[in-house]
Each structure stands twice: as C-alpha cells, then as structure tokens.
C-alpha cells in the first residue's frame, strides 16, 4: 500500500536504538503484515532527550518570528504533499480518505494560527509595581525545556503535529512518541518540519510501546502532552506528579447530543451521522449517546437509521468510502463486546451491529442502539467505535441532567432552532466544548478557542493562546527605583502603615492593575 522506499526513508529519521526488538505493523485494510517497526529502548530515549536538550537553548534564542516562519513553511509543505500524507494515514489507520483530509486541513489551520499569534502572545508584558513610577515589573514567558508529546493512533497526523507546533513555537525542544501502529505518520510530520527549516536536533521521534518508551519519555522530559484513554492518563499524571513536572491530558469522552423538539429531524440526522461515525467513531469528541425529544423521536430515528444505512463502508483507499475500518482486531473486539453486552441485556439494534469481514478484517457496521440502560457497558463506558444509542426525553432540564450523567466531560452537542435557549442550556452542561447545531467540528476547528475536557476527560487545554502558554513558564522581574520600601526618616511604623493603606486604597479606586 505504501512504497517500501518511503517506509525505509521515514524509519531512518527515528532516533536510533541499541534494542533488537521490532513490532510487526499490520495494515488495517487487509490485516496483512506491513513492515517490522524498530523499537527504541530506554537508552535510545535518553540519547534523544540529551540531544534535544543540548539543541533547545539555541532554538529558544531565535526570535519568535523566525520560529513562526518555519511553521508557515511547514503548513505549505503539508498542503503541497497532502496526497502522500493522506496515503500514509489511510494505510496506517484504515480510515476513509475524507477523514484523512480533515487531518491535513487541521494541521494547516493550527500551524497558521500559531504562526500568526505567537509573537504577540509570547512578548514581554509590563505591569505596574507596588508604587507606580517607583517600581516596575516585567513578565517574561520562557520555554519549559524539553516537551514530551505522546500521540495516539486515531488521528496520527493531527495529534503528532498540532501538539508539537505550539511547543516548538514557544522555544521548546520536542520528543515525539507516536503509537506503534502509526509511526510513519509522525515521522512524515517530522520530515516536513525539518524540510521547513526546523533544526533536526530540536525534535526527536522515538518509536516503541508506552510501557517502555512512553514511560522513559515521561521520566526525562520537562513537560508532557498526552492524548489517550482516561485509564492511561491517570498513570501518566501520577508519573508526572512524582517528578513535579506539568502535564496536559486529553482523555476519553462519552459525549452526548441533545435534539430539541423544534429541531428538524432530517437535518438533525445528517449532523448526527457525521458526529457519530466520522473516523468510524474513533474520535475522542465523537457522539456516543443521543437524547431526542419524544415529540420528534420517531421521525428522527427513522431519518437517522435511513441515513446511516446509506453510508458507504469499506477500506477502499480513494474517495468512494464514507466510513473506514477500525484500527485492529483487538479494538474491534472491544466494540463488538459492547454491542453484544447491550443486546444480551435487552437493547435493540436498529441498524448495524455486526462485523463485516467481507469489507475488511476489522470493519464494524455503523450501529444504532435503543433501549440502553445503566446495566450495559456502553451506557457509561467509552466505546470509541461506530456505536451510538438513542433515548427519548421529555424536557430540557431532563436532557441536561442526562447529558451530565457520568464522570466524563469532553464534548456535547445541542440541535435546535432556538439559539438563545441552546446557549443557556450549554452553560449547564459539564463539558469542555459544546457545539450548537453541530456535533464536534465547530469547536474543534475554531483553533483560537481552547479545547479540552472536564471531569475525567482530562487536564489542560490545546488550541488557543492557552494551548501555547502551557508550554511556557513565567518569570517576573521587578525593578525598584527607590532604595527601600522601609519607612522614611521621621515616620514611625504606624504612620508609614497608614500611608501604605491609603496608597493601596487609591490604587484600587483608580483601577490600576
């Protein structure tokens, strides 16, 4: 599926290893062996971190505008080489080509955004000191040092590139550890960054499993950006805490969609299909449960089932597929277990529900369930596949309560004609992003807006200024133009204290920061 020469040229860009271990990568579209991935070890991680740490100070000394210009060139290279990038994504992940294109576009948007705002966001800020005119304060934003980015398989280009971009723009070096299934995508990102002007040593790519290589990365870097399951996120957080280093975690979700009584059933079904089955549901912000008002439930469900059955499912590498494969046999097993568990306990399959080996070894039909309750795994546990369940509701407050039922809080959606009501409802939903009349793309693609989870869906934010500043540490430098803040000659402690109280009071009344 991918030229052997390209595979070898990309693998050559990974940080070397003294290990003899390899991992057999399998193409999800066929289940066939693809190539042997050389696995790094702890020694290789140490060497990579040391290389990056030596290169980082010189990189940080470059003007922000120069670092940003590299990201602008990188964006253009990504768009120019988009066919090759999509080929890699489709081959390694099994997703539909249209879903791979979303990754290309996402990288371009994020690179453009940070190239545009970095100089302004990172410049020094001046503040008034305790005594304006006598004391001045300057706030600086310094890079943290070496940032570890641990990226998952489900969006292998996006999550390798868009977390590394702001870290690099902020002046950090980056150690990128992709999932073993999608290492070529991460190496492609690295290759294009180097071609755009990034010094090779400022970013290193280490290949291997999470237990050995991921853990070694966390043990040696200065900050960690992790995207993955909540269970693994807890382990990452604990390991970071033991070293007193910061981390940002985007974790799981059990995302809800609320469809109000005034929503158009057919239009809502179209939005729901995209929100539930994009990338075969292997998306942290994907909708996995739908609450539809009882007055339109029958019409919506009919339209939703009809539209879902029209999806073109398969592993064809071109543009004729709407939904592709799951990533692996193991993950397919988890998804099918969720469906079987629900059905065994009384849930009803409205469409889908089965594997389709005739289409691809790991393909599962897009599945709609009804009659799901708390006894079933798919009610509260993240399925991370093309499975959604639908439940009618009677009132807005009930829908909000159900949307907030659970410990996740990543994404939510509200479909309605009454925008003002939807905005009011959104403020009551415990989720990091809420989309009105969309499933997830509206918030995700708004790169100026922070994105992340509440509850057990994560810590920190990506995108926006917050997604840049998390890779920095602030330093405050105060300059006193008076010799001392002690009481002047002739003032006793009480009189001088009264002067200070009046000064603080006046400062507050004048609104001085």
Q: How far, in Å, CA of 279 to CA of 142, rounded? A: 37
3-class secondary structure, 388: strand
Q: What is the pLDDT of residue 19?
A: 67
Contact (Cβ atoms closer than 8 angstroms) between residue 410 and residue 253:
yes
Give the catalytic positions in this structure: 250, 284
Q: What is the pLDDT of residue 309?
A: 98
DSSP codes joined into one string, 301-351:
HHHHHHHHHT--BS--SSSS-SB---S-HHHHHHHHHHHHHHHHTT-EEEE
Contact (Cβ atoms closer than 8 angstroms) between residue 472 and residue 144:
yes
Q: What is the pLDDT of residue 136?
A: 86
Q: What is the pLDDT of residue 481?
A: 80
Buried b (16+ CB within 10 A) or exposed e, 19-39: beeebebbbbbbbeebbebbb
Which tokens belong to 434? Answer: 């809420």
Q: What is the pLDDT of residue 506?
A: 75
Contact (Cβ atoms closer than 8 angstroms) between residue 327 and residue 315:
no
Query: What secondary structure letter does DSSP report for 3?
Result: -
**Which stretches in the chain have pLDDT values below 70?**
17-19, 483-485, 511-513
Strand pairing class (33-38; 22-26): antiparallel
Q: What is the pLDDT of residue 17?
A: 67
Q: How far, in Å, CA of 287 to CA of 359, rounded? A: 24
Class in CATH terms, 4-251+464-472: alpha beta
Give the count of beta carbons closer than 10 Å to the beta carbon of residue 287.
Answer: 27
Angle, vertex CA 113, rays to CA 165 and CA 286, nearest 5: 80
Which tokens belong to 474? Answer: 């602030």
Rg value, the chain, Cα: 26
Q: What is the pLDDT of residue 401?
A: 98
Query: 255-455 adopts what CATH topology?
Result: Aldehyde Dehydrogenase; Chain A, domain 2 (3.40.309)
Closest CA to 451 of 162, 21, 133: 162
Every domain of the chain and the residues it spans: 4-251+464-472, 255-455
CA atoms within 13 A on the CB side of 419: 2
Contact (Cβ atoms closer than 8 angstroms) between residue 359 and residue 315:
yes
Which tokens belong to 149? Answer: 């980015």
């Amino acid at each position: 599926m991918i030229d052997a020469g390209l595979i070898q040229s990309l693998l050559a860009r990974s940080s070397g290893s003294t290990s003899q271990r390899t991992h057999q990568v399998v193409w999800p579209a066929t289940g066939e062996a693809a190539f042997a991935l050389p696995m790094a070890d702890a020694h290789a991680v140490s060497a990579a971190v040391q290389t990056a740490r030596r290169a980082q100070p010189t990189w940080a000394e470059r003007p922000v505008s120069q670092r940003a210009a590299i990201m602008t060139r990188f964006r253009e290279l990504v768009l120019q080489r988009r066919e090759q990038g999509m080929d890699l994504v489709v081959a390694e992940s099994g997703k539909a080509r249209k879903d791979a294109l979303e990754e290309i576009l996402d990288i371009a948007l994020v690179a453009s955004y940070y190239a545009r705002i970095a100089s302004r966001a990172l410049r020094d800020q001046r503040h008034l000191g305790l005594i304006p005119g006598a004391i001045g304060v300057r706030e600086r934003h310094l890079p943290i040092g070496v940032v570890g980015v641990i990226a998952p398989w489900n969006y292998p280009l996006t999550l390798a590139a868009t977390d590394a971009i702001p870290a690099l723009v902020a002046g950090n070096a980056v150690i990128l550890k992709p999932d073993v299934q999608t290492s070529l995508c991460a190496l492609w990102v690295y290759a294009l960054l180097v071609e755009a002007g990034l010094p090779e040593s400022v970013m290193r790519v280490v290949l291997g499993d999470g237990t050995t290589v991921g853990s070694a990365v966390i043990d040696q870097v200065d900050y960690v950006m992790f995207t993955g399951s909540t269970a693994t996120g807890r382990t990452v957080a604990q390991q970071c805490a033991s070293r007193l280093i910061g981390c940002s975690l985007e974790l799981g979700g059990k995302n809800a969609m609320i469809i109000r009584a005034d929503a158009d059933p057919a239009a809502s079904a179209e939005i729901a299909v995209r929100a539930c089955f994009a990338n075969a549901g292997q998306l942290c912000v994907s909708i996995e449960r739908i609450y539809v008002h009882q007055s339109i439930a029958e019409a919506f469900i009919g339209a939703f089932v009809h539209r879902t059955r029209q999806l073109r499912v398969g592993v064809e590498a071109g543009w004729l597929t709407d939904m592709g494969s799951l990533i692996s046999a193991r993950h397919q097993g988890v998804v099918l277990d969720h469906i079987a568990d629900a059905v065994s306990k009384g849930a009803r399959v409205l469409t889908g529900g089965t594997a389709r080996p005739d289409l691809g070894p790991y393909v599962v039909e897009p599945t709609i369930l009804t009659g799901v309750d708390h006894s079933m795994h798919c009610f509260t546990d993240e399925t991370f596949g093309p499975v959604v369940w639908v439940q009618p509701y009677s009132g807005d407050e009930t829908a909000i309560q159900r949307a907030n039922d659970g410990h996740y809080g990543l994404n939510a959606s509200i479909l309605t004609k009454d925008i003002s009501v939807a905005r009011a409802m959104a403020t009551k939903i415990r989720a990091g992003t809420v989309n009105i009349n969309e499933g997830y793309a509206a918030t995700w693609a708004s790169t100026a807006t922070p994105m992340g989870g509440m509850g057990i869906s994560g810590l920190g934010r990506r995108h926006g200024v917050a997604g840049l500043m998390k890779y920095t540490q602030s330093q405050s430098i105060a300059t006193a133009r008076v010799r001392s803040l002690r009481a002047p000659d002739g003032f006793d402690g009480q009189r001088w204290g009264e002067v200070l109280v009046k000064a603080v009071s006046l400062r507050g009344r004048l609104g001085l920061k």
